[in-house]
Amino acid sequence: MTDYGPLLARIAARAAEDDPTLPLDERPAPLRAEDIAAVERELGFPLHPLLAAVYGGFANGGFGPDYQLLSLVSGPTDEQAVDVYRANRTDGAGTEWAWPEGVLPILSWGCGMYACVDCRTDEGMVLLFEPNPGVPELAWYVDAPSLESWFDGYVNRTGWWDRLEDGDEPDMPPWPEFRTRAAR
């Protein structure tokens, strides 16, 4: 098992920098292990271990880049990750917009765009869902090869969202598994 303690401490430090007026003990409480287990049963797949560590060891959303991480279940954000996942799986079922199984949205970028964790991969690949071009094959991109590298981008201010503010357009490759995974 991986020790995510050092990364969680770095995430906590960055979250404190983002909102110094909100003490860490007033952030959304982490979820209990039994709450995470219940979510996993409901979803039908386990969360990536780092994602479970973040929600269980730091906070139930309400921190992170731009619009901040969604709450996994009821919490401080307007949307909850489980509800968004379930709605997208249901709304797209049987269409070319079918939401891939095991791809959990964790952050809304607005305009229908989401950062999502592929919980079916060992690395927890982070995908960007960007439906605005209107073509399913052009809606899924590889945002980061792993959830750990995505959080490193947040902590170190090197994520594409930070570079975008400097005028550097992100160059993300399309997600090559979209067709095979969306068909499930």
CB 127 within 8 A of CB 144: no
**pLDDT at res. 52:** 97
Q: Among the residues of the chain, which ranges form H helices?
A: 5-18, 33-43, 49-57, 81-92, 147-156, 160-165, 178-182
Segment 42-53 shows an average pLDDT of 97
Fold that domain 5-182 belongs to in CATH: SMI1/KNR4-like (3.40.1580)
Is pLDDT of 82 > 90?
Answer: yes
pLDDT in tens, 104-163: 999 999 988 999 999 999 999 999 999 888 888 789 999 999 999 999 999 999 998 888
Residue 168, pLDDT score: 66
Asked if residues 143 and 174 have their Cβ atoms less than 8 Å apart, the reply is: no
Predicted pLDDT of residue 32: 95
Q: Are strands 113-118 and 126-129 parallel, antiparallel or unpaired?
A: antiparallel
Q: 30-39, 70-79, 85-94: lowest mean pLDDT where?
A: 70-79
pLDDT for position 166: 66
Q: pTM score, two decimals?
A: 0.91
